[in-house]
Every structure is written in structure tokens, then in C-alpha cells.
Amino acid sequence: MFNYPATLTKDGGTFLVTFRDVPEAITFGADKEEALLNAVDALEIGLSFYVESCRPLPLPSKAKRGEITVSSAALERATLVLGRHIEVRVAA
């Protein structure tokens, strides 16, 4: 449900990770593995901005060729789903 497409780009001596559906989520790492680990945190923080400001969560789009997908951790997913459920109930 929360598998967001991301772009992993070599940026000088580091790797940059960006999310087109969550532009607030940007991170990097010294190598691909570190960048991907940091991407989970960046995604969770980026999505938390939406919950904290009572904005609807952006839904993940389908990954395009060359993109990877990143998913938030289980506890974070539960928090985001709960936040989304509250959004729907408040809007109704």
C-alpha cells in the first residue's frame, strides 16, 4: 500500500534519493546501501509532514522504468493509515 517510487542518482561521491510523490522526502548516502536505508527514514519523515498538517497523504504512483520502490516501516505504516482514516472521518 505504501510502496513509493524513488529515483536513486549518483551525485558526485554520494547517491541521492528523491520521491516524485513526496517531494519533501530527499536524502543521500555514501553508497547505494546507505542511501536506501536513509530513504526509508526520509519517506517516513516526508509523509509525517502531511499527517501533522492534516493534509491528505499522497498516494504512491506506479514505479516507472529505472525507479526503485521504498516502503515505510510497519509501525510507521500503521500510524499513516490511522492518520489517513482520521482524515476521512473528519472530512465526512
- Is residue 82 scored above 90 in pLDDT? no
In the chain, what percentage of residues exceed pLDDT 90? 59
pLDDT at 37: 94
Contact 87, 56 (CB under 8 A): yes
pTM of the model: 0.79
pLDDT tier for residue 92 given thresholds of 50, 70 and 90: very low
CATH 3.55.30.10 correct for 3-91: no
Domain spans of the chain, in order of start: 3-91
